[in-house]
A and B are shown apart, each in its own frame.
Chain A
Amino acid sequence: RKEVEQDPGPFNVPEGATVAFNCTYSNSASQSFFWYRQDCRKEPKLLMSVYSSGNEDGRFTAQLNRASQYISLLIRDSKLSDSATYLCAGDKAAGNKLTFGGGTRVLVKP
């Protein structure tokens, strides 16, 4: 089993709709989680850090469920520009290294 797993998608989302997807992790000692956005052929860019139960930034909300060992990302009022691959990452037991999931592709369509 991979340490961090994501549904690869794609999630096809109508513009203006809400989409949510999960990231599961196997290392129960992980303390910090991060969502990155990656556009095609570009580098991952930090979207959000999650240290406790969750975080919210505008239309983006992340929720951490430690009991079930998953982190979710919810995007409200989806924009065409939200189309990207979203990578989840978790730390290796409070260390400096991160383990990345394979990414979830989101396609927002008019």
Chain B
Amino acid sequence: DVKVTQSSRYLVKRTGEKVFLECVQDMDHENMFWYRQDPGLGLRLIYFSYDVKMKEKGDIPEGYSVSREKKERFSLILESASTNQTSMYLCASSPQLGNQPQHFGDGTRLSIL
């Protein structure tokens, strides 16, 4: 079974803080993704990476950056957290071979106060 692990289930931070969300997968997948999920807006792609040190912007990259130094780890960084970044953050991974499903971590519920 694919295992995608996110570092925190719940996180509370303050406005202006730099926030790091970590994701690790154990299936040697090339592709990794960061989404946020909000009521009424569904899943929205923030960034994705198809290889080490490679990254591409998703649909809503503003206010976020990412890091992929190792194949198994994909980090999402909120440079200066704002209250509108309060959300459920989901990491996913998939193999390089196309047409494959993504497998999700159990999510981080982030609150910015």
Contact = CB atoms under 8 A, between A and B. Distances in A.
Interface in A46-93: 46, 49, 51, 87, 89, 91
Contacts of A102: 40-42
B83 to A, nearest CB: 20
Nearest to A94: B98
A44 B106 contact: no
B102 A98 contact: yes
B25 interface: no
B21 interface: no
Interface of A is mostly: loop
B42 A91 contact: no
Nearest to B107: A43
**A: contact size bracket:** 20 to 34
B112 interface: no
Nearest to B40: A102
A97 B98 contact: no
Contact of B101 (A43, A49, A95): A49
A45 B2 CA distance: 11
Given A41-B88, A94-B99, 10 more contacts: A43-B90, A44-B90, A89-B102, A94-B98, A95-B98, A96-B94, A96-B100, A97-B45, A97-B48, A97-B58
Interface of B: 31, 33, 40-43, 45, 48, 50, 58, 88, 90, 94, 96, 98-107, 109
Interface of A: 31-32, 34, 41-46, 49, 51, 87, 89, 91, 94-98, 100-103
